[in-house]
Structure 1
C-alpha cells in the first residue's frame, strides 16, 4: 500500500492542479505506457472513484523506489504547493490580501451554511 503522501500527490495530479508536479511525473512516465495510462486514468476518473488515484500512487511508489532522484524531486515539488501541507481528503484554505468578510473552512457540506 502506498504511503499517504503518495495518495495525496496522486490526487493532486488527478486534479491537474499542480502543473509543475504533473509535468515532472508525465516526463518520468513518458517511456512507461502502463504508468502513463495510470496518470491519464486518474486525471479522467470521476472524483468519487478512488481506485485510479490508488493505482497512480502505486506507480509513483514504484518509480520512486527505482529512481531515488525522482522520489526526491517529487517530494520537493510537492512541498512547494499548499497541498503539500494537507493529506488526501483534507481541507486547505489560503487567504491572502485584505480580508473584510468571513472565511469558512469546511470539508464536505451537506446542507446550507448561513452566516
Structure 2
C-alpha cells in the first residue's frame, strides 16, 4: 500500500491540479508504456479511485528504483503545497471519507452562513 503522500501526489497528477508535478511524472514515464498507461487511466478520476491508487503504486516503485526522481517528486509536491498554505495566502480544501451532510470549507468568513 503506497504511503498517503504518494496517493495525494497521484490524485493531484490525475487531476492535473499541479502542472509541474504532472509534467514531471509524464516525463519520467515517457519511456515506459505501462507506466504511461497507468497515468493516462488515472487522469480525471476521483482521488479515491482504483486508478489513482494504481498510479500511487507505480510512483512508489519508481521512487524506490530512482531515488533522485523521488526527491524531485517530493520537492515539486512541497513547492506546490507551499503556495497553497493558508498562512501564505492560499487556500487548501480537503474532504476525506464519506460526507452525509453539509460541508463548509473556508478561510475568511465575514457574516452569517446558512445551510
**2:76 match:** 77
TM-score, reference length from structure 1: 0.73
Partner of 2:108: none
State how many pairs are aligned: 102
Q: Which residue of 1 aligns with 2:101?
A: 110
Q: TM-score, with normalisation over the residues of structure 2?
A: 0.73
Q: Which runs of 5+ in 2 are unaligned?
A: 104-112
Give the CA RMSD over aligned residues. Answer: 3.2
Determine helix, strand or coil for the equivalent of 2:43: helix
2:57 matches 1:55: no
Which structure ranks higher in relative contact order (CA pairs < 8 Å, sequence separation ≥ 6)? 1
Is there any run of 5+ residues in structure 1 with no aligned partner, and where?
86-91, 98-104
Cα distance in 1 for residues equivalent to 2:114 and 2:41:
38
Distance in 1 (CA, whole Å) between partners of 2:2 and 2:26 is: 19
Render the CA deviation track for 1:20-43: whole Å, top value 9, x for unaligned: 000000000001111111111111
Does the 8 Å CA contact 1:7/1:54 hold for their aligned counterparts? yes
